[in-house]
Structure 1
Amino acid sequence: MFDVSIEDAIPPAFLYSLLALTVAYHIFAPLCSTVKQQSWILTTISSAAMSLSSLPLFFLYASSRGDLRGIRSTLWTESTGRFFQAYLVTDLLMGVIYYRSKVNLLTGWIHHTIYIFIVEYACRQSWSHLFALCGVMEIPTFLLAIASLNPRFRSDVVFAMSFLATRIVLHVFLCVSMIASRHHVTNDSYGPGLIMACIFPLHAFWFYGSLKGFVKRAKSPKSQPVSQGTVTASGFTSLRARSWMLPRRRGSLRQAVRAWDRLELRKAAGRFGDVQRRLRASIPAAREQVYAYVGLERLPSGEPQQTGAKTESSF
């Protein structure tokens, strides 16, 4: 009844990408120590692939000064769109199974579902090259994803600049180009331009939120290092420096800690006093006793002074 092949219903590029992303997730997931890192694996792969795929089209668009007439849909751009569809589906599937807490309603289910239909609409209208060109806006996503996997790569300034350049400035230029060139590019259709215009407020809201977060973190006081306590003469670590960390409701525990500190200090002081008294007793205090202790004591007048050297009379 329906003259629709399975390749038209489910393109091979989608199936291959779905399989490859699923395998890639199970390879890299054991290397992650947290669920948050696992939730960014597929996003990192997808954003990197989309960014690289869009660069040739972006260079062509920039060299032609915003003219879209030189860009055409090809098998490459079609496969790029199907790959992104496979990422959206795989991210939801893996999220339900492995990191359900990281897949929220807005940026997860609603966002992914809408973009699945947007890509399908672009591919069926032979506008996959326009979607592939917009893949350059995945550069800030890649920066955010790689920083989530490894905090050493995080740079708020680089992320903000890339987001401003691609998802704000470039987004506006692409929207204007799609509307201005609709007669030659989209057969007088306002569809791509309207879709870009509807997505722009979301990007602007995200950019405003990121700037607000940067300002908040810049104004917040830096965390002070926690004191590890001081070592007393008894060899124990004093808990006085850490007692301020206890909640106010635990007054009895705080008093017990202080009592333990005083007890340890008294014990240490007592042991130190014993050592001091023994040291004083072992060393003569008077000057004459010191002289006698080292063999230089004074003798009565007329008698020779003894020295520490051995003589025949000393035997």
Structure 2
Amino acid sequence: MSFPFLLCPSLYTIFYLLYTVLSPYFDTERKKAYILSSISSCTMTILSIPFFLSYLTNGLKETFEAGQEGWMGQMGWFGAVFFGVYLFADLTVGYLKYPSQVGLLTGWIHHIVYIGLMFYVVQTQITPIFLMGAVMELPTFDLAISNLFPALRNDLRFLSSFFIFRILFHSIYLIDCARPSSRAFMGNSWVPTVMLGLALMMHLSWFKGGVTGYIKRQKKSSHKRTIMVDEDPIIEMVSTVDSTISSDVLPSSSSPYESPLVTPHTASPSQIPFFLSNLNIPAINLPTGIIDLRSLKENGSGFREAVRNSWDEQKEKFTMGRLVRRKLSEREEEGRVVVREVVEVDE
């Protein structure tokens, strides 16, 4: 089949219209750059399924022969033309709409080389070779959807599919196409083997970068996790407010009033809101002369021991204060009930 010069403008117009309709729903250039990519990768993955399954069950030669005629021949021819038009549309639309996302290697060089390859594939009628390998567009579809809809992103899923299809399957497919018996029914052409080899080198580089980025993100994420210090309630509270406080770090100040453990001084009555002025909160005086922070630092006992000592000394006072407040509230409630009953009798 000759190259369909009349079909190409129609496909290009469809790509441009789809981008025009969908792009307003995405707010960044990065997301907009994946609109055409998601459409192309999804279409190519679907078109490759019959060729991929036939390759797994019947082998390279029978799939190649079956893809030369019938519906598989038409599908292979259309797939190569479709992909070539997409590459051209991604370059031209990207140059106008999202130029920051069209790189030199992965954009201009990659797309121009593959446009020439699609022209060669159609002219030499080896489209089944391309369609059998087009299943490698599945990780690209995952990447595109993850960028368009970040909630669907899963790095392990993407890296796993990338390794299975673009590293493992690609390597097996390359070796199969490079065999002399395989090149015999492809007109003894080295072009498929060379192109698959260059693509594999590029995929290995991308996979290495993806794994390195994933490891860095995991380390960064684990570094940000808040580590709870012991089970003591005061230590947990302080650690939640200030994640830099840990059990083995002492305050640099020698004054307990400058320690992160101590709350600011109580505000004057004029600074207290009216709805808090009637609360009966027992005063708690933390001892300031008992804990020698400098000696604790020298002995290595740490911030945890200082907090525990203060907490143990005040634990009984907290308990007694709680009991007193409970009894007072019970008495006030009893008084309110009596007053309510007296008022009802008088009425």
Alignment TM-score, normalising by the size of structure 1 = 0.69
The one of 267, 271, 274 aligned to 1:268: 271
CA distance in 2, matches of 1:276, 1:134: 75
CA distance in 2, matches of 1:9, 1:141: 26
Q: Assess if the C-alpha contact under 8 Å between 2:145 and 2:152 holds in 1.
A: yes
Partner-residue secondary structure (3-state), 1:220: helix
Partner-residue secondary structure (3-state), 2:188: coil
Letter in 2 for 1:19: T
Q: Assess if the C-alpha contact under 8 Å between 2:41 and 2:137 holds in 1.
A: yes
Partner-residue secondary structure (3-state), 2:131: helix
Aligned to 1:164: 163
Change (3 A) 1:224 1:70: same
CA distance in 1, matches of 2:36, 2:279: 69
Aligned pairs for 1:267-286 (under 5 A) are: 267-269=270-272
Aligned pairs for 1:1-315 (under 5 A) are: 11-67=5-61, 68-73=63-68, 74-180=73-179, 181-222=181-222, 223=224, 265-266=267-268, 267-269=270-272
Please, which moves more after superposition, 268-277 or 17-26? 268-277
Q: Assess if the C-alpha contact under 8 Å between 2:36 and 2:90 holds in 1.
A: yes
CA distance in 1, matches of 2:51, 2:3: 27
Letter in 2 for 1:14: C
Aligned residues: 243
Please, which moves more after superposition, 177-186 or 140-149? 177-186
Aligned to 1:299: none
Pairwise CA distance, 1:168: 0.7
- Larger radius of gyration, structure 1 or 2? 1
Q: Assess if the C-alpha contact under 8 Å between 1:182 and 1:190 holds in 2.
A: no
Alignment TM-score, normalising by the size of structure 2 = 0.63
Q: Assess if the C-alpha contact under 8 Å between 2:3 and 2:119 holds in 1.
A: no
Change (3 A) 1:66 1:157: farther
CA distance in 1, matches of 2:65, 2:4: 29
Q: Deviations over 1:212-270 (max 9, x none)?
A: 11111111135469xxxxxxxxxxxxxxx89x9xxxxxxxxxxxxxxxxx899444248
Q: Assess if the C-alpha contact under 8 Å between 2:4 and 2:81 holds in 1.
A: no
Partner-residue secondary structure (3-state), 2:189: coil
Letter in 2 for 1:190: W
Partner-residue secondary structure (3-state), 2:221: coil
Q: Assess if the C-alpha contact under 8 Å between 2:32 and 2:98 holds in 1.
A: yes
Q: Deviations over 1:46-85 (max 9, x none)?
A: 0000000000000000002454544423222111111111
Letter in 2 for 1:11: F
Aligned to 1:258: none
Change (3 A) 1:99 1:265: farther
CA distance in 2, matches of 1:273, 1:158: 54
CA distance in 2, matches of 1:31, 1:8: 38
Please, which moves more after superposition, 98-107 or 54-63? 98-107
Pairwise CA distance, 1:12: 2.7
Partner-residue secondary structure (3-state), 1:18: helix
CA RMSD of aligned residues (A): 3.1
Letter in 1 for 2:217: R
Q: Assess if the C-alpha contact under 8 Å between 2:44 and 2:134 holds in 1.
A: yes
Q: Assess if the C-alpha contact under 8 Å between 1:13 and 1:83 holds in 2.
A: no
Change (3 A) 1:81 1:275: same
Q: Assess if the C-alpha contact under 8 Å between 1:47 and 1:138 holds in 2.
A: yes
Change (3 A) 1:103 1:124: same
Aligned to 1:257: none
Pairwise CA distance, 1:146: 0.4
Letter in 2 for 1:51: T
Change (3 A) 1:187 1:273: closer
Segments of 5+ residues of structure 2 without an aligned counterpart are 227-240, 245-263, 281-334, 337-341
Letter in 2 for 1:18: Y
Partner-residue secondary structure (3-state), 1:171: helix
Letter in 2 for 1:94: V
Pairwise CA distance, 1:40: 0.6
Letter in 2 for 1:106: L
Change (3 A) 1:224 1:54: same
Please, which moves more after superposition, 8-17 or 109-118? 8-17
Pairwise CA distance, 1:31: 1.3
